Chains A and B, each alone.
Chain A
Amino acid sequence: MNKVSNIVRPFARPLVLVGGVLLIVAALLPWATFVLNEGPYPDKATLQFFDAPFAVTGFRFHLLLLGLLVLIASFAPVPSRARVLRALGWGGLLVSVISGLFITIEGGGLGAITAADGATAFGALVGLVGGAAVILGAIALGVEPPAHWTLKLPTAAAYAVLVVVFVLVLLGVSLVLTAGGQGGAANPYAGPLFLAFLGFAAGAMAALSATGAIRFVSELSEKHRIFSVVVLLLCALLLPFTDAGSEYWMTVAANIGIYAATAIGLNIVVGLAGLLDLGYVAFMGIGALVAANFSGAAAAAFGVHLPFPVAAVIAAVVAGIFGAIVGSPTLRVRGDYLAIVTLAFGEIFTRSAQNNIGGLTNGANAIPGIPALSLFGADFNKSFTLGSIKLPAGVLYYVLIVLLVALVMTVFANLKFSRIGRAWIAIREDEDAARAMGIRTGQAKILAFLVGAMLAGLAGAVFAHKNGTVSYESFKFLESVTLLAAVILGGMGSIPGAVLGASLLFVLPEKLREFSEYRLLIFGLALVLIMRFRPQGLVPDRHRRAELADEDVGGAPVDEVHEVPGAVKEAKA
């Protein structure tokens, strides 16, 4: 890479400019010929793939945007220019590669992107070259660390900025959710269109982050935390009024919300206290089973129908008790061994639930027919009219779950910056040192399990009512791994990270139905790749960043030295 960039260096700027122009040209070219294995594309796909030149929609519009941004960034005074350009280049490359691959593989082979029937349809190739040129040129320019703004804003201006940003975030979320449309047999192109959009979004976000804008906003929101939380909550509640406000998307968003809440709970155990829990989803299962059994469903073990808030509290408490029990070996067991103990508990839960232990789980038949929630006469499954606006069914669940996520976030944030939170972090960093400083490590660790389990139990209770059926199948080992992956992908110890991770891991399968066969394979490989290339996650927790990645720490790489931590201690001694 270094050699290449040395050769390229004199032509770096022209290369970037050519790349940018190529991206724009690619966007204006057609991307596929009409020849398909089984006839022409359906209407929806043609819109994005075959438009005559200059009618640019969908991913071609995104590519055009990226190309223009490259040109703008090359001339305008942008902080960290090369880094911004590199990010934009990656965006272009990803969009081209994803769309190109899809056209090539699903769209009738290589012929589809070469000239046929007089149509020049090699947009993907041009875009690919353009993206690569921008990346190469940007690297040759010398990539600098992301910029850092020291701008101070008066409170009113800060509020205004935050409101604007969060509204943009809301629109962005709506855009992401609806991008590519609903997955499934009716719309086989949802997957690639969505992935291409994600490529564009990732490039654009990385570019923004390179300019320092994201860090600036996140610091601003940290400074005005309460205001931010309120605005963010309002924005989340406004989502039903955007394009995403259909029953389908509300359901998807609600499901993501449930898993996001659970992931944040897991983040307390893993991210803050550093205790790897491989059986976490069992607590969600316990919560769901408790709620199901008190819901008045026909298969419930208890004939009573408790009001939801009561059932939810019982669910949380029962899950919490189990959490404390599972956590109790932490008094004696550490590290990897603890992970295995939690795994064992998780498996015991699954096995017991499968065999209908104590008649509480109804075994393989599950507990169906759990009534939908209703509060103040409003049935959560029905659509809902607010003034003159009719909102789709599922909105109330969505609102309930947004509130649940907000609650969990609040708990998490308060714990993180509290005495117990500092104790957890100390335990995570060095348990012996923490104990030496007088922290009651055993208590603190059990508390982490207890709180995490309670939040999962609460999420489970909502899950039970939302889905109407509780089966042990929903709470198997793989679900625990998925939740863990959500936490890790997002960034351990970081709240936005957990939400982002949960969203990605539960939106992608929704969108990529046609790849569902490969879902877990890709998922497993993704875990490996994340650990290899970005162990700190997509949105790293700022305090944790230093320990998982060395990008901010100077000094020589000490590869193949086993005991760097030990050596540091030795140096201090």
Chain B
Amino acid sequence: MSPLLEVRNLSVAYGAIEAVRDISFTVEAGQIVSLIGSNGAGKTTTLRTISGLLRPASGEILLEGEPIHAQPAHAILGAGVAHSPEGRRLFPRMTVEENLQLGAYVRKDDGVEKDMQRVYDLFPVLGERRHNKAGLFSGGEQQMLAMGRAMMSKPRLLMLDEPSMGLSPIMTQLIFDTIKELKEQGTTILLVEQNALAALALSDQAYVIDLGRTTLQGPGHELLADQRVRDAYLGES
């Protein structure tokens, strides 16, 4: 049985600049997989390519064995890959509810109301302010909305880009708890994080990306113990 997502020898270039070079990794269904690495390592580019916003220069992206890298972004979402982008990218002049409705844009079933309630249960603050404009929210609240919005499409694979960026430690903890909870509910998660410690602690599998290449890989707890990782990303020396 093929893995949920498989990225094979992916390279992505902006004009002449290669941002991602020959990266390969797999995400098995039900896992949390994280990509960690320093700023500019190519993690965001990788996610943007998986979700169809960028085109690979070479390599393949397979969703359950089917290549998706030639598909337009909206079709990839339709295939079950949701992407909560870096910087959250909410629709600032729309209400919480409208943002969530857009998350469920491709769904034709009648469970949308129920799932929206689920998001409000998970993040009560969103429910209280469902008719407020998203642009007026704090960073943490925006992150909750961004994750809620991505969940609204009922994805098989949820890709989260830097969910903890710019958040207070308490808020970061809340977000990571939610990620764990989502996993327990059966969502597969591909996580990109600079906060390597927190990300590795909850990952089943992790890949370290440096200057566009995969340099290390292994289960999260093993990498957490790896001296090279500790030196480079966990602020020890």
Contact = CB atoms under 8 A, between A and B. Distances in A.
CB–CB under 8 A between A and B in the complex?
A: yes
Interface of A: 553-561, 564, 567-568, 570-573
Given A560-B72, A573-B40, A568 B17 contact: yes
A556 B53 contact: no
Contact of A558 (B16, B39, B55, B58): B55
A148 to B, nearest CB: 18
Interface string B1-32: 00000000000111111010000000000000
A172 to B, nearest CB: 37
Given A560-B72, A561-B54, A561-B55, A555 B40 contact: no
Given A559-B55, A561-B53, A571 B72 contact: no
B57 A555 contact: yes
A161 B96 CA distance: 71
Contacts of A567: 14, 45, 48, 54
A557 to B, nearest CB: 7
A559 B19 CA distance: 18
Contact of B55 (A553, A557, A572): A557
A556 B56 contact: yes
A553 B57 CA distance: 13
Given A571-B40, A571-B45, A556 B55 contact: yes
B54 A555 contact: no
12 contacts: A553-B16, A554-B13, A556-B12, A556-B13, A556-B57, A558-B55, A559-B55, A561-B54, A561-B55, A567-B14, A568-B15, A568-B17
Contacts, number: 41
A564 B40 contact: no
A79 to B, nearest CB: 25
B14 A555 contact: yes
Contact of B14 (A559, A560, A564): A564
A573 B44 CA distance: 12
Contacts of A556: 12-13, 55-58
Interface in B60-118: 72
A110 to B, nearest CB: 45
Interface residues of B, number: 19
A555 B55 CA distance: 10
Given A553-B15, A568-B15, A558 B54 contact: yes
A568 B14 CA distance: 6
Contacts of A561: 53-55
A555 B13 CA distance: 6
B87 to A, nearest CB: 10
Nearest to A546: B15
Interface of B: 12-17, 19, 39-40, 44-45, 48, 53-58, 72
A561 B12 CA distance: 13
Contacts of A557: 55
Give the interface centre of A557, A560, A561, A573 by most chain B CB atoms within 10 Å: A561
A571 B19 contact: yes
B19 A555 contact: no
Give the interface centre of A557, A559, A560, A573 by most chain B CB atoms within 10 Å: A560
Contacts of A573: 39-40
A558 B53 CA distance: 9
Given A555-B57, A571-B45, A573-B40, 5 more contacts: A555-B13, A555-B14, A556-B13, A568-B17, A571-B19
A570 B16 contact: no
Contacts of A568: 14-15, 17
Nearest to B44: A570
A567 B12 CA distance: 12
A259 B16 CA distance: 39
Contacts of B44: 570
Contacts of A559: 55
Contacts of B56: 556
Contacts of A555: 13-16, 57
B54 A571 contact: no
A128 to B, nearest CB: 37
A571 B14 contact: yes
A559 B12 CA distance: 14
B54 A554 contact: no
Contacts of B55: 556-559, 561
Nearest to A569: B14
A556 B56 CA distance: 7
B10 to A, nearest CB: 12
A563 to B, nearest CB: 8
Contacts of B13: 554-556
A39 B21 CA distance: 72
A42 B58 CA distance: 63
A554 B15 CA distance: 6
Give the interface centre of A558, A568, A571 by most chain B CB atoms within 10 Å: A571
B17 A554 contact: no
Contacts of B19: 571
